Amino acid sequence: MSIQRNVDLSCFNSFNISCSSSYYSEIYNVAGLENALDFARQRKLECIILGAGSNILFTCDYQGLVLHIKCLGIDIESADGSDKVLVKAAAGENWHQLVTYCLAGGIHGLENLALIPGTVGAAPIQNIGAYGVELEQFLHQVTVYDMQRQQVLTMNQDACEFAYRDSVFKREQRNQLVILDVTLCLSRSTETNTSYQALQQFLEQTMAVELAKVTPRQVFDAVCLIRRSKLPDPKQLGNAGSFFKNPIISRQRCQLLRSQFPNLPVYPTATTDEVKIPAGWLLEQAGWKGRKIGNVGVHQEQSLVLVNYGQGTGLELLELARAMQESVSALYGIDLEAEVRVI
Ligand code: EPU
């Protein structure tokens, strides 16, 4: 085990925020994790688990131990005689590389989740989702290390308690469980999900594809093209994707809002008495799209995305996020919840 002191984290967070961690360790396996946790226990250090750092905002130097998950490996096992395939990937694998690896091997389902930044281990934490698909639809099992019980456990889909951008890993078990690997149930069938309207339009109008004949590869290509046109590449412009969740409000409240704002877009949720409102729309109406304040700002194409123009600090971004929350609250009475983890 190697524990490093005073490590610069600017390359390990997609906002490219300059900050450091008092202690830092790369974790390649359970033995390494146990040793690092022993080290932290002896010195009474707090720990945080870091994947690709694509959903985290550091607002100060971290005084504890950063456990940087680097476990690698992908195993493909056929589930049964059907076209279902179980794919087990270690937590440190890059998510998009897993998506491309599966697609190249004729294993389908993840196409809509192409280009989501981050690691496989981070995917269940916020139940990553895009273009009509959420991770929970494919999740078979997660292997975790329980820091309190000091043992490896497996959790099935139910135990993860998934919801929109939410799971047990973000709530009750926050900072308790370290995800070691994720097993997904995918398919060799070429069935696709083109339910998301913007995806459907892009396939039909821009790619001139007939929806009934669309292939997983075409969905993958469309999702990559849409994302690249709307979302900044963190390597070029520091960001963490959507900074806020899309708020979920009651249908009743939505009706009231709509009487005041007739153009308010509304999306269905799993329950009939609640609807989802695109936070990007609320923020754009509030005048945030493309605004630059000092070294930070709001992306030109997507008001949900906060960006660091290079020299921005975590506190500047946090201040901007708070100002955005306040203006949406004042205009619509809606509280935007951060999706990004703020340290
Ligand atoms: N919109 C605006 N102005 C904006 C942005 C959005 O008016 O600046 C409105 C438009 O009406 C648009 C609608 O919002 O039709 C939806 O926009 P978009 O398709 O870009 O999706 P989103 O709801 O803003 C969510 C996810 C994204 C995911 C996309 C596509 C959340 C918090 N974000 O964004 O996820 O890629 O859907 O499925 O749910 C991420 O989590 O980091 C992320 C990028």
pLDDT tier at 1 (50, 70, 90 boundaries)? low
Q: Which amino acid residue places its CA nearest to atom 25 of ligand 1?
A: 130
CA geometry: angle 252, 134, 144, nearest 5 deg: 120
Tell me the mean pLDDT in the region 205-227. 96
pLDDT, averaged across the chain? 96
Indicate which residue's Cα is closest to atom 26 of ligand 1: 130
Give dist(CA 277, CA 266) in Å, integer.
5
Q: Is 43 a catalytic residue?
A: no
> 10 Å Cβ neighbour count for 124?
25
| Whether 242 is catalytic | yes
Give the tens place of pLDDT for each residue, 182-194.
999 999 999 999 9
**pLDDT tens per residue across span 279-305:** 999 999 999 999 999 999 999 999 999
Neighbours of 342 (CB within 10 A): 13
Residue-level pLDDT at 79: 61
CB 177 within 8 A of CB 169: yes
pLDDT at 173 over 90: no
Asked whether 284 lines ligand 1 (CB < 6 A), one says yes
Residue nearest to atom 29 of ligand 1 (CA): 130
291 tagged catalytic:
no
3 state DSSP class of 88: strand
Residue type, 19: C
Per-residue pLDDT at 196: 95
State the sign of the Cα–Cα–Cα–Cα dihedral 265, 162, 168, 199: negative
Mention every residue, 6+ apart, whose C-beta is less than 8 A from residue 71.
Answer: 27, 28, 29, 90, 91, 92, 121, 180, 181
Given ligand 1 and candidates 131, 281, 285, 301, which is best to mutate, with the most ligand atoms within 8 Å of its CB? 281
Catalytic site residue from 26, 93, 111, 339: 339
Q: Is the CB of 246 under 6 A from ligand 1?
A: yes
- Can you spell out the DSSP letters for 200-264? HHIIIIIS---GGG--HHHHHHHHHHHHHHHS--TTTSEEEEESBPPPEEEHHHHHHHHHH-TT-
> How high is the pLDDT of residue 77?
85
0.85 cut: is pTM over it? yes
Q: Answer yes or no: is pLDDT of 93 > 70.
A: yes
- Of 38, 10, 8, 13, residue with least CA distance to 24: 8
- Spacing, Cα 142 to ligand 1 middle (Å): 28
Residue % of the chain over a pLDDT of 90? 94
| Residue 120 near residue 89 (C-beta atoms within 8 A) | yes
- 231 pLDDT band, cuts 50/70/90, is very high
H/E stretch holding 170: none
